[in-house]
Amino acid sequence: SQQGEEDPQALSIQEGENATMNCSYKTSINNLQWYRQNSGRGLVHLILIRSNEREKHSGRLRVTLDTSKKSSSLLITASRAADTASYFCATDRSGSARQLTFGSGTQLTVLP
């Protein structure tokens, strides 16, 4: 079953704009991860944020985590056409011994 629900399901922006995707989940977690999937390819790990962290940066990526609201957001700044992909959040649940549960994904299209 899917732990995370992502919002929006699809997002279309112009190159150079920022893209924000949101993820909500249901149970307690050890950490939350974001992955990117290009069409016809496997998932690529982007960033991991632990349950005791509130914000994390990696290059043009900024992730926030609000455990009280059971939600996370992924911000991609200064987007590029190459950022076009599906983005998934995945939760590593407390006590689940390393099982990742994925959300439904956001399809991001960056128009040149």
Is 107 an interacting residue with respect to other proteins (CB under 8 A)? no
* Segment contacting other proteins by CB under 8 A, of 13-21, 22-30, 56-64, 90-98: 90-98
Q: Would the CA dihedral through 16, 4, 38, 30 be positive or negative?
A: positive
Q: What is the DSSP letter of 106?
A: E
Distance in Å, CB of 103 to other proteins, minimum: 8
* Segment contacting other proteins by CB under 8 A, of 7-15, 59-67, 74-82, 102-110: 102-110
Is 67 an interacting residue with respect to other proteins (CB under 8 A)? no
Q: How far, in Å, CA of 74 to CA of 60, rounded?
A: 10
Residue nearer to other proteins on the CB measure, 19 or 49: 49
Q: What stretches of 1-112 adopt beta strand conformation (E)?
A: 5-7, 10-14, 19-24, 29-37, 43-50, 55-58, 61-66, 71-76, 85-93, 100-102, 106-111
Amino acid at 45: H
* Segment contacting other proteins by CB under 8 A, of 8-16, 19-27, 73-81, 92-100: 92-100
For binding to other proteins (CB under 8 A), which residues are involved? 2, 33, 35, 41-46, 48, 88, 90, 97-105
